[in-house]
A and B are shown apart, each in its own frame.
Chain A
Amino acid sequence: MKFFPVMPVIFIAAYIFVAASIAINTPQYAMIGIGSIILFMLIYFFTRGMKKQIT
């Protein structure tokens, strides 16, 4: 890729700006978003734990 790492850095910075703006303007969206990530991560670890116990 030409201009590496400028291209990905611009893109990442832009989407961090968008995510931060949403978090500032509508904090409930960010809270529910992060909450659901944590919930699904817990589901992942829980199901992995269950599988290990079975095997």
Chain B
Amino acid sequence: MRKGNRIILYLPLMKSNKLNLFSLTMIVIGLVIGLGIFRTSSDAAKAALTPNVFFFAWVAGGLIALCGALTYAEIGSRLPVTGGYYKIFAECYHPSIAFAINCIILISNAASLSGVALIGSEYISQIIFTTEPSSFIKALIAMSAIILFYGVNLMGLKMSSRTQNVLMIIKIGLVVLLISSLFFPSNYASQTITAIVPDPSWNDYIKSFGIALIAVSFTYGGYQQTINFGEEVENPRKTIPRGIFIGILIIIALYLTISFAYYKIIGFEELKVSKGIASIVAEKMFGAPGKYVISILLFLAVLAYVNVLLLSNPRVMYAMSMDGILPAAFKKKDEKKDVLTVSLSVFAAMCVIVLFFADTFDKILSFTIFLDSFGMAFSAATIFILRKRTSILMAPAFIP
């Protein structure tokens, strides 16, 4: 709550359902590792003139993500409230900006969740059906996944965060499995580099680096939403910064090594034109059955993403309702289980509706990439305002 020029926090005392450091770290990793790293790593390779530019973009993207993580770690520690990503805009700029940006993010997250659920249903369809099912059947499978995890989330924060922990361990295991392909040099591809631009100038290199960096920056994004869990974290002023910091370090390590594995196993030129790069690596490691194993694991990876978005987004609706921007029903909470029943139900319904209009929402998703970057820059800039307003409240805490 804002009073004059200072922010005063009202934190509930209930502790039983709170997220610990491990659960929060799993949420951070879950928000960042969607499906991009298993599919679209080739976009960065396509943009890069040479393998060095490709790796330089991944390293630079990692360093930028680290700067961002440290910034949001401090923001989360200074304003540990539910729906924090909405609150920072509302408190530091204006509620109208907070409402506009977060409504667009809610719609784009619903579209992203549905898009990923549809990709997941494609993976599992390859296992269940011998011929490719219709789009309607795929949408029904995706809908079942959303409804299943809606049910899990209705059972409480503890249940949904435990489910998230299990799914994330599987997902991280999948990344590590793909990285382990580096231990089989017999599968290494021969590297033949074809020059796209003959005799490239420094300008060409910088341009190529810039485009590769843009592709990489979207794969690294998502951790900023962790601040939505503010009040629901054990000792938030210490745990939020630690969770974001540890999470992003794990992500950087995984992304850099998996990119190196893709480069070694698939080959730089092949990587530029390949789709389903994770399946290619698995097939090289385990032969034809590898493709099936990876499809099941990727489906589970999809479920982790569905669950984490169902966890995070209703909290933004709750914060909007607390400020009187959304109807009071959105702040309805099952205190015992720590579930935002109405917000969760509305967000899940949005995702199901989007499923059946996937093509239209795919277009919306591409428009929101500009707003995402714009929102990241503006939300990070709130650190300067929060530092001034919360200077009196802040005793030394873990701010890396």
Contacts and interface: CB of A to CB of B under 8 A. Distances in A.
Bound pair (A, B): yes
Interface in A1-55: 1-2, 5, 7-8, 10-12, 14-19, 21-23, 26, 29-30, 32-33, 36-41, 43-45, 47, 51
Interface in B329-385: 366-371, 373-374, 376-377, 380-381, 383-384
B367 A32 contact: yes
Contacts of B325: 44, 47
Contacts, number: 100
B240 to A, nearest CB: 13
A44 B96 CA distance: 6
A12 B381 contact: yes
Nearest to A26: B370
B100 A8 contact: no
Contact of A5 (B324, B370, B376, B384): B384
Contacts of A26: 370
A17 B68 contact: no
A19 B381 contact: no
B198 interface: no
Interface residues of B, number: 39
Question: Chain A's interface: helix, strand, loop or mixed, by majority?
Answer: helix
B136 to A, nearest CB: 29
A12 B369 contact: no
Interface in B182-207: none
B210 interface: yes
B370 A22 contact: yes
Contact of A2 (B68, B370, B400): B400
A37 B380 contact: no
A22 B377 CA distance: 14
B231 interface: no
A7 B182 CA distance: 33
Contacts of A40: 99-100, 103-104
A16 B378 CA distance: 9
Pick the most buried of A7, A16, A44, A47: most chain B CB atoms within 10 A of its CB: A7
A25 to B, nearest CB: 9
Contact of A7 (B67, B96, B374): B67
B399 interface: yes
Given A2-B400, A37-B100, A40-B103, A15 B70 contact: no
Given A10-B64, A14-B64, A22-B214, 19 more contacts: A1-B74, A8-B380, A8-B381, A11-B71, A16-B373, A18-B217, A19-B370, A19-B374, A21-B214, A22-B370, A23-B370, A26-B370, A32-B367, A33-B104, A33-B367, A33-B368, A37-B100, A41-B100, A44-B325
Interface of B: 63-64, 67-68, 70-71, 73-74, 95-97, 99-101, 103-104, 210-211, 213-214, 217, 324-325, 366-371, 373-374, 376-377, 380-381, 383-384, 399-400
16 contacts: A1-B71, A8-B380, A10-B63, A10-B64, A11-B67, A11-B71, A15-B377, A18-B213, A18-B373, A33-B104, A33-B370, A36-B367, A37-B104, A40-B99, A41-B99, A45-B96
Interface of A: 1-2, 5, 7-8, 10-12, 14-19, 21-23, 26, 29-30, 32-33, 36-41, 43-45, 47, 51
